[in-house]
Chain A
Amino acid sequence: MTKRLTILIAAGAAILVAATAATAKSTDTTITGAGSTFVQPLVAAWTPALGKAFGYTIQYSGVGSGAGIAAITANQVDFGASDAPLNEAQQTACPDCIQIPWALSATAVAYNVPGAPAHLKLDGKTISKIFLGTISNWNDPVIKALNKGANLPDLKITPVFRSDGSGTSYNFTDYLSSVNTNWKTKIGTSTQPAFPAGQGAKGSSGVAGLISRTSGAVGYVDVAYAIKNHITFAAVRNNAGKFLFPSLRRIEAAASAFTTVPANNAISIVNPPKSAKLAYPVSTYTYIIVHKRSAHAAELRKMIFWALTQGQGTQFAAKLTFAKLSANKKVLVAAEKSLKQIQAAGN
């Protein structure tokens, strides 16, 4: 009997040794991250390639931009990812956090209306009124006027929004604030806006799921999720008067319309001026957020540089509707410059 007990203790010790051995081996190369579900498919596509290039294991958790910022602020992870730049309070909470734009894409206005055309035409005012609840039926004359000849049913509109803190919400409300002053004063731009109407869902995937399950729903989600779940999305009118649905060229057109990059890298590219004829108006940069002093500084620098350069390659980005950062050289230069600020912790 004592023999058995000895065996048990030996087995326990063996497990402990194995566990510590595994720890020693993996701490060198594992980089943890959390945040945006918007950029999650891209990070997932990068992960195997980064493994091959540097031997890094990226452990990324799509918990939403808001939770990602909280996680990097609390040092839970090596990097956070957010489609919204840090706001003042968040920057104060994490004074040595810097944000670096590392991908470029757009938010689609996706809908589930049986019988409606593949790309309904909508403009910013109409979208904002739908989400304010003042336009509440798909056969509303305003929508009909934008879509002459389209078959629009007598169907209640169910706006679908992100219930968790989300950079996609930020991007979307940033756009609505820029086209509708009423929206700007009532709701404003936020990662967690107080939507007056509709239903909430968690994560990009949750929003896509709720839209595809709900007849009459309209929501905002990044393009890749809409395409994956076979949800139709709107052609949104830009300032040049063109109705465009998001595509690589149109996102790049929006990015190149804004030429100044502020010191904190926060660049809003919604609702570009008239001159950008081909620009999709709900485009956004998405950011990686890191501490200037990081235990994995060298690895992070390498990883982010790779993401800014090779990571933009068509084999990763294009099919997920992520446009090339080089569409705006100034942003790329600013991003690469910011990398130098990441330094090893402890000096």
Chain B
Amino acid sequence: MIEPGAISLRATGRGRRRLLLNRVAEGSAVLAAVLAVAVLAVVIWSVGSRGFGAISLDFFVKGPSSDFFGGKGGIAPALAGSSLLVGVATLIALPTGVLTAIFVSEFAPGRASQQIRLWLDVLNGFPSIVIGIFVFTFISRQSAFAGGSALAIIMLPLVARSTMEVLRLVPTELREASYALGVSKWQTVIRVVLPTSFGGILTGTTLAIARAAGETAPLLFTCAIAGQTVDWNPSHSVQSIPLTIFNYSESADPALHEQAWAAALVLILLVLVTSLTARLVLERSRRKVGLQR
């Protein structure tokens, strides 16, 4: 029998060093996590405090003032333009992305689907400025359609990959049940698989939209020469929020600087709201799939 106190429970030597190292590593990991979140908070706070003063009703519904010396005006053309651009991009990327995902997860042979996944990931990491130049070489006339096409290329891998993920979540039993009833494969996809993963597809698309709304580089070549009033014509070049921020920030006018910050705030809030909504919708649809199981 060993007497109490003969063996200390305190770590010594190598054990102690390990313990210390563990604490240091854990501490720095926590610190890094806090920092990552803090950066977001600081960005939102600094943009908000600088831009909040410029936000008013006029800011959202009016264009830049036609009076050079007075009148603040607003960013209505940029808001309309960004919606148009993202709308065009979604109309192109959503069907293409979803069809790609269906092909990969339902129809393609294993090796092909692996390859497509890989190339989609490569496309996802592609420099966005290159996509802008690429589109410009094909559609050399600037327009909302050209800009939307460039944004669609950015959205495509995001939509396709996220759709693949949710299609994978659809329980095999559902598909088997459908086949057992004598339903053909494509009908199974359209009637069973797609509706079940509807929420997930919506989430992926929303996240892709949030990403596209903030992209600046692809628009420099494709949709930068734009007028000063609201324009809904996709064959015209239109204003966009990111380019408006860029242009206003280079101006001499402090009022325009404030508007640039305010536009940045609007963009951030837009991205935050869409991202959070997307997460909520995804959560809901996950639970639903779970119940049906």
Residues of chain A touching chain B, judged by Cβ–Cβ distance below 8 Å, are: 1-2, 4-5, 12, 15-16, 19, 22-23, 26-27, 30, 32-34, 41, 44-45, 47-48, 57-61, 63, 67, 71, 74-77, 201-203, 205-212, 224-225, 227-229, 319-320
With beta carbons under 8 angstroms apart, the residue of B194, B225, B250 that contacts A5 is B194
Segment touching A, from B12-20, B228-236, B275-283: B228-236
Measured in the bound complex, the distance between the Cα atoms of B144 and A19 in whole Å is: 12
What are the residues of chain A within 8 A of B140 when measuring CB–CB? 74
Interface bits B215-246 vs A (CB < 8 Å: 1, else 0): 00000000011111101111111000000000
Given contacts A32-B227, A34-B225, A77-B225, whether A229 and B233 have CB atoms under 8 Å apart is no
Closest CB-CB distance, B281 to chain A, in whole Å? 12
A45 to B69, CA, bound (A): 11
Chain B residue nearest in CB terms to A57: B229
From B67, B142, B235, A45 is in contact (CB under 8 Å) with: B67
CB distance from A291 to the nearest CB of B (A): 14
CA distance A227 to B65 in the complex (A): 17
Distance of A303 from chain B, by nearest CB (Å): 14
Can you list, as one digit per residue, whether each of B85-120 has a CB less than 8 Å from chain A (1) or not (0)? 001000100000000000000000000000000000
**How far, in Å, is A219 (CB) from chain B's closest CB?**
11
Residues of A contacting B67 in the complex (Cβ-Cβ under 8 angstroms) = 44-45
Q: Is the CB of A5 within 8 A of B233?
A: no
Residues of B within 8 A of A225 (CB): 252
Chain A, residue nearest B66 (CB):
A44
Q: Which residues of B contact A228 (CB under 8 A)?
A: 68-69, 252-253
Query: Residue of A at shortest CB range from B143?
Result: A76
CB proximity of B155 to chain A, nearest CB, Å = 15
Taking the complex as formed, is B191 at the interface, i.e. its CB lies under 8 A from any CB of chain A? Answer: yes
Closest Cβ of chain B to A46, distance in Å, is 8
Would A27 and B251 count as touching, CB distance under 8 A?
no
Could you say which residues of chain A place their CB within 8 Å of the CB of B232?
A: 19, 22-23, 26
Contacts of A27 in B (CB 8 A): 233, 235
Query: Which of B91, B194, B233, B237 contacts A76 (CB under 8 A)?
Result: B237
Tell me the bound Cα distance from A319 to B68 in angstroms.
9
**Is there contact, CB below 8 Å, between A30 and B233?**
yes
Determine the distance from Cα of A319 to Cα of B251 in the docked complex, in whole angstroms: 21
B contact residues, range: 35 or more
Residue of B nearest to A48 (CB): B66
Bound-complex Cα distance A212 to B256 (A): 15
Are A229 and B64 in contact, CB atoms less than 8 angstroms apart?
Answer: no
CB distance from B200 to the nearest CB of A (A): 13
Q: Is B198 interfacial (CB 8 A cutoff)?
A: yes
Contact B195 A5 (CB under 8 A): yes
Known: A1-B195, A205-B251. A22 touches B66 (CB 8 A): no
Q: Is B211's beta carbon under 8 Å from chain A? A: no
Q: Complex formed: what's the CA distance from A80 to B229 in Å?
A: 18
| 27 A-B residue pairs with CB within 8 Å | A1-B195, A15-B87, A22-B232, A23-B235, A27-B233, A32-B227, A41-B68, A44-B64, A44-B66, A48-B66, A57-B229, A61-B224, A61-B225, A61-B237, A76-B225, A77-B225, A202-B250, A205-B252, A206-B250, A207-B252, A209-B251, A209-B253, A210-B252, A212-B252, A224-B68, A228-B68, A228-B252
B252 touches A206 (CB 8 A): yes
B196 contacts chain A at the CB level, 8 A cutoff:
yes
Instruction: Report B-chain residues with C-beta under 8 Å of the C-beta of A227.
Output: 69
Query: How far does the Cβ of B123 sit from chain A's closest Cβ, in whole Å?
Result: 24
The reply to whether B225 and A47 form a contact with Cβ atoms under 8 Å apart is no
Q: Which residue of A lies closest to B250 (CB)?
A: A206
Contacts of B225 in A (CB 8 A): 32, 34, 61, 63, 67, 71, 76-77
Docked pose: A250 CA to B39 CA in angstroms: 55
Q: Which residues of chain B from 237 to 287 have any CB-CB distance to chain A below 8 Å in the complex?
A: 237, 250-253
B141 within 8 A of A: yes
B250 touches A76 (CB 8 A): no
Determine whether the beta carbon of A16 is less than 8 Å from that of B66.
Answer: no
Residue pair A205, B229 in contact (C-beta under 8 Å): no
Q: Which residues of A contact B252 (CB under 8 A)?
A: 205-212, 225, 228-229
